[in-house]
Copies of this chain bind each other. A is one copy, B any other.
Amino acid sequence: MATTTKKGEETKSRIIQAAAELFERRGYYGTGMNEILSRASAPKGSAYFHFPGGKDDVAIHAIQFAGKQIGDLLKAGLAVEQNPHKIMGVLVGFFKMRLVQEDFRCGCPVGTVGLELSGTDSPVLDACKSTYLQWSQILADYLSVHIDEAKAGEVADAAFSMIQGGLMVSRINSDLSHLDIVEKYCTALVVDTISGT
């Protein structure tokens, strides 16, 4: 009786992964269920079996999946690089690599969907919000080792906003220069803060 089968779980995660990629590229409204399923090589019946809540259900899982993935990469990067002078280079460098690798068709897996749904009460938007919160917290935790907690949260939010903005503008312009500049001033912000200006 029961217990989910291995094949079922694989199909489910294939759908989530395909959805995450497409939502990141073209947003919520620009991505169709049929396209997701075609990319995941899964039939419609499987989708609505694994995700009875429909497109929203898929989108929530996709956002959470992508959010955790990037969150883990951020944590890993921060753990490796202890030098505050270089830490922003690591973070921004990670996003620059993503941009180039995917020909500026992706960047942040949350931003586009979040903007499209902003101001609504969609549960998908809630998933976007909590993903942002997670990422900010990771950065704040790192900074709180060097400075007091309140200041760390503020600087983390500032750096997070800057990176998000640079990522968006660079992506739209198909040009890394904005992200380069953000990296530079973000580094200055962190260094100045830690050295106590």
Q: Using CB atoms and an 8 Å cutoff, list the residues of chain A in contact with chain B.
A: 25-30, 102-107, 110-112, 114-116, 118-120, 125, 128-129, 132, 154, 157-158, 160-169, 171-174, 177-179, 181-182, 184-185, 189
Given A29-B29, A161-B178, A185-B189; 14 other pairs, CB 8 A cutoff: A26-B116, A27-B30, A27-B112, A27-B115, A29-B30, A30-B30, A102-B119, A104-B119, A105-B118, A128-B172, A157-B177, A160-B178, A164-B168, A165-B165
Kindly state the separation between the CA atoms of A158 and B116 in the bound complex, as whole angstroms: 25
Copies of this protein, total: 2
A95 to chain B, nearest CB (A): 12
- The answer to whether B172 touches A115, judged by C-beta atoms less than 8 angstroms apart, is yes
- The answer to whether B171 touches A161, judged by C-beta atoms less than 8 angstroms apart, is no
Kindly state the separation between the CA atoms of A170 and B166 in the bound complex, as whole angstroms: 15
